[in-house]
Amino acid sequence: MLKIYRVLGKRGRITIPYEIRQRIGFRYNDVLSFTELDDSSVVVRKEKICYNCKESEEDFEDNFTLEDFLDSLSEEEQRNALLHLSLLWSEKQKH
């Protein structure tokens, strides 16, 4: 088990160490979830937004809209997709 220490910044930010990002496969723009456990520890997970995007890619019609895509998802998948899009939009606003 790899154990690395980091100091939490005054704005509540922390950098996930490179070694952890590489081992887990975290990438830029990934959606991460944080789950607090009973012992006050936190589990960080990389969330998958679309589980079968590659398989269903061929099924999309030419006039398939974003709204059609969102309607095809479960409520939780819709929330995750919209969160991911919001994060992408936010990053673009900074540049």
- 23-48: pLDDT as tens digits: 988 888 788 889 999 999 999 988 87
3-state class of 23 per DSSP?
helix
Give 58 or 90, the one with higher predicted confidence: 90
To which H or E segment does residue 95 belong? none
Instruction: Inform me whether the pLDDT recorded for 54 exceeds 60.
Output: no
Give 66 or 37, the one with higher predicted confidence: 37
pTM of the model as a whole: 0.49
Which stretches of the chain are assigned E, i.e. beta strand?
A: 31-36, 42-47
Q: What is the largest CA-CA distance in the chain?
A: 50
The CATH 2.10.260.10 portion of the chain extends over 1-47
Q: How many residues does the chain have?
A: 95
Instruction: Inform me whether the pLDDT recorded for 82 exceeds 80.
Output: yes
Name the CATH topology of 1-47.
Pemi-like Protein 1; Chain: D (2.10.260)
Contact residues for 90 (Cβ-Cβ < 8 A; gap 6+): none
